[in-house]
Structure 1
Amino acid sequence: MTELEIKKLLVRYFLEKYENFIVGSEFSFQFGERRADIALLDDGYLYAFEIKGARDTVSRLNYQIESYKKFFDFCFVVCEPSNLSEVRMTIPRDVGIFLVENNEIKYIRQSKQFKRHDKKVLSSALSVQKLMALAKGSNLKSKHELCEYVSKHNTLESLRKLSRDDFKAKYGVVSRLLKQETTLHLTSDDIYTITKRAPSLLKRRVP
């Protein structure tokens, strides 16, 4: 399946299982170096979903997951039957798994809750304006410098909350519109609505 097709199934699964969730596609963190295919905020917890379709390589999957653990509370890999065994062998047991089979999302394994987040990575998702406000007139302008300063002068719990609040601010309105206007038969436009990235990049994956 294409990445877009899997995303539609995954968001449909959320619509069936959750009520007050907020969802974003291609969510950027770690200074834009990493993107979660799908991110979900529910009850204050942030979930990451890395999609690995049948034609995708899993060679970098463990590295991708390790970066997710620095920012997200729960991490899942979404795969197909043909690469389920390879995914199982590649990722640690503390990472959850969902399976795409027969146009359905099936729960396979729960994710552990990750709590040892990286304060600098948490702050990297905030805008420069928000970071400058937190830096209280330090005259720093580089985002890396601002994140360094903010991470040193704020607690892990406060930065975790700020990052979740920021996610809510970015995706709250579009998620509400998605839930109000969408049936369980999602279209490509529904996914583009929650994507902070050019729709042309949502294409069929190649090995």
Structure 2
Amino acid sequence: MKYINCVEDISIDYTSLARSLYFKYNTFMQDANVWEMMEYIMPTQLYNTISHLKKDVIGHELINDFVMRYYPGEYIVKYFLLKRYINNNDEVSAFEINMINSRLDVGRINGYSYAYEIKTEFDTLDKLNKQIEDYSKVFEYIYIVIHRCHLNKAVKMIPDHCGIITYRIVDGELKFNFYKKVRKNKYLSKDNQVKTLNSKELTQMLKELKSKEIPAERHLKEEIIKKYSQRKVNAIYKKILKERYRNKWRNLKQNFNDINPIDIQAIFKSGIDPKFVYFKNSFNV
């Protein structure tokens, strides 16, 4: 929160302001464009209190500070969740993995597979039951990561195998509490696992299974895989997902300390070096 104190005196709805910045902001905007956006969205009185920083401070940092303080959405939670595991060896994490009819916030794979669905104080739990159902067919361990405001409702909703992690913000950091222990779920479905793989990955699975047949058509590949046990398919499925995201995860690990929390997902997906994002190349004196 390096830049928040200089604007605290002004009577403004900071939550609404931070929300607007959060949804208008794009990680890959040039610095000059970020500053233009702030000037457009912020009340003039507020913008004038930070405009003197323009020559020296990357606009991305200011956006991150505002959002961290006043609108800590899911990207912030994702950043601090992965921070717990970023130095672990022989594991891979990924964002926004398509899972049947849902999209998983964070997937983590080492010897096991873990699904994390995030619900911030700005979210509802309307889709949670369906999301847990979908994830349970594909990943072994399912967690919901929730703001404490959802705790009472979530406890009544979730199945026994689902774990609960609550979080709170302390001095600009997220602190997690493992409120309910997770159990390995019994609903894994090889049919649903293979549906999340592309055709090339299905071919890889057939090779790992040492199948004598490797047809070109997707539906035929799926039919052959169905003949193998859930245990074998699941083991190879985890291996394939680790390989799918390995390079992007490696880039994130190498650059993690240089990435603003709000940018964590965008930089993961792009695989870009953050020095090409946080570069004050677009300010003209």
Aligned pair partner of 1:39 in 90, 98, 107: 107
> Is 103-112 or 2-11 further displaced after alignment?
103-112
Aligned pair partner of 1:149 in 223, 231, 251: 223
SS at match of 2:178: strand
Aligned pair partner of 1:113 in 175, 178, 184: 184
Number of aligned residue pairs: 189
Greater relative contact order structure (CA < 8 Å, 6+ sep): 1
Are 2:100 and 1:26 equivalent residues in the alignment? no
TM-score by length of structure 1 reads 0.80
SS at match of 2:95: strand
Using the alignment, how far apart are the partners of 1:184 and 1:72 within structure 2? 30
Q: Which runs of 5+ in 1 are unaligned?
A: 197-207
Q: Which runs of 5+ in 2 are unaligned?
A: 1-71, 271-285
Contact 2:215 2:221 in 1 (8 A): no
SS at match of 2:126: coil
Q: In angstroms, what is the RMSD of aligned CA positions?
A: 2.3
Using the alignment, how far apart are the partners of 1:168 and 1:186 within structure 2? 25
After TM superposition, give the deviation of residue 95 of structure 1 in Å: 0.6
After TM superposition, give the deviation of residue 146 of structure 1 in Å: 3.9
CA displacement, residues 74-111 of structure 1 (integer Å, 9 cap, x when unaligned): 00001001111111111123210111202222221221
> Is 55-64 or 159-168 further displaced after alignment?
55-64
After TM superposition, give the deviation of residue 147 of structure 1 in Å: 5.8
Are 2:155 and 1:88 equivalent residues in the alignment? yes
Using the alignment, how far apart are the partners of 1:165 and 1:110 within structure 2? 25
Are 2:138 and 1:71 equivalent residues in the alignment? yes
Larger fraction in helix: 2
Amino acid in structure 1 at the alignment position of 2:252: L
TM-score by length of structure 2 reads 0.60
CA gap of 1:186–1:163, structure 2 versus 1, over 3 A, is: farther
Amino acid in structure 2 at the alignment position of 1:39: G
Pair member with larger Rg: 2
CA displacement, residues 21-48 of structure 1 (integer Å, 9 cap, x when unaligned): 2100001133xx3221000012x10100
Amino acid in structure 2 at the alignment position of 1:108: Y
CA displacement, residues 117-139 of structure 1 (integer Å, 9 cap, x when unaligned): 11111112222123256372445
